[in-house]
Amino acid sequence: MKRTMTLIATVFAFSSLAHAGDGFLNVQKMQAEKAEKQVRTDIRSGDDANREAQRQAADRKAGEAIEANRDNYRTK
C-alpha cells in the first residue's frame, strides 16, 4: 500500500512538473512573439519617420527653388 501511494505521488509530481514546464514554454513563446511584433512595429515607425523626413526635405528644396526663381512660379 505504501509503495502504491509513493508510486502514485511520484507520477503525480512528474505530471505536475511536465504541465508546469509546458506552461513555462508557452509563456516563453508568447513573449518571443510579442517581442517580434514590437520589432516589426518599431521598423514600420522608423520607416514612417524616414518618409516624413524625406517629404519635409523635398518641400524645403521646392520652397528654395520657388524662392530662387520666383518669376517662373505663380504663388497665391
| Three-state secondary structure readout of 30-44 | HHHHHHHHHHHHHHH
CA distance 73 to 30: 57
Statement: residue 11 has pLDDT above 80: yes
In the structure, what pLDDT confidence band is assigned to residue 41 with cuts at 50, 70 and 90?
confident
Under 8 Å between Cβ of 10 and 18: no
The pLDDT value recorded for residue 40 is: 80
User: What average pLDDT does the segment 45-49 reach?
Assistant: 75
Higher confidence at residue 19 or residue 56? 56
Statement: residue 33 has pLDDT above 80: yes
- What predicted TM-score, i.e. pTM, was given to this entire model? 0.41
70 sits in which H/E element: none
Statement: residue 37 has pLDDT above 80: yes
CA distance 50 to 56: 10
